[in-house]
Homo-oligomer: A and B are copies of this chain.
């Protein structure tokens, strides 16, 4: 009698229907809280579902209708700003019927494109793309078939929603702060961006614009200096090394990401410079990194949690068909001053 070790048959909608003495159509309607089923029936079906511990088979649903799954595309799990966004998304969707699944594609447009496609193949109901490096055309194509929210890029389109931070204003806040402290030679370290991704208004581009405008506003346009480096410890380090060993080194450096600021810090440290006495340093995004006691980095807060929540809310509106026109939400950044910025040693 060694047979039949796995009688674990899945409970299906048919079982529930039988148990409740109704048709599968009714059960399906209850499942989707669809119109056209009496209160008494509802009750009966729900009871049957509970009794049998029924759980809908997502793959089967995906064949016909929704999968009740939201996909989030992320390039970099290490960026804790993205973690803030994610938590916002999760909190917003917490007691909805939707499940959030994350595709951590890593950098590289091809990897990201592959992940986006994988999500589409899995019939996800909606997509949230955080600063995608994939060519814009591909995102637009995707968005025309699946509700999509793009976070970060300022390029607006009528086919997807967007959530952005006013990065230009954020850059201005930092410049204003540094200028008010007495700095004049202020350099910016920004991401080089993905070449030929065809996004014209990425966060780093808008940030750079804001920086240049602010410098101009303070009559410092001739001292403006933008250095392109990856948003990583290493990228920041290289940028710091180059900037700080130049003939006329800046007295303050701002970066487009906190982690890059820490790379600059490392470079400064190696060159025997102390922060903030010899160099004022500001990051961006106000991640957990910036707040750590040994770090205490001045940064710009972007309310990632709120951005994530907004994105999720907008996406669901689209998924459920409550809205058919694209919209864009812009967040206002806020400067958070910590001890990595102070007046310059000597005014240049």
Contact = CB atoms under 8 A, between A and B. Distances in A.
A67 B59 contact: yes
Contacts of A71: 101
Given A58-B123, A60-B63, A67-B122, A104 B115 contact: no
Nearest to A57: B121
Interface stretch (A152-160, A181-189, A290-298): A290-298
Copies in the complex: 2
A33 interface: no
A56 interface: yes
Contact of A262 (B60, B100, B294): B294
Contacts of A115: 99
A233 B292 contact: yes
A269 interface: yes
A83 interface: yes
Nearest to A77: B83
A82 B78 CA distance: 9
Nearest to A105: B90
Contact of A59 (B122, B288, B293): B122
Contact of A101 (B56, B80, B102, B293): B102
Interface in A43-75: 55-63, 67, 69, 71
A80 to B, nearest CB: 6
Nearest to A232: B288
A83 B262 CA distance: 19
A211 interface: no
Given A55-B117, A63-B63, A78-B83, A262 B293 contact: yes
A233 B77 CA distance: 19
Contacts of A310: none
Given A262-B293, A295-B294, A295-B295, A104 B123 contact: no
A348 interface: no
A133 B285 CA distance: 30
Contacts of A8: 145
Contacts of A117: 55
Given A55-B121, A266-B292, 8 more contacts: A58-B121, A58-B122, A58-B123, A59-B62, A99-B118, A100-B103, A102-B104, A289-B292
19 contacts: A57-B121, A58-B62, A58-B118, A58-B122, A59-B62, A59-B63, A67-B122, A69-B122, A78-B83, A78-B288, A99-B122, A100-B104, A102-B102, A122-B122, A262-B293, A262-B294, A265-B293, A269-B293, A294-B295
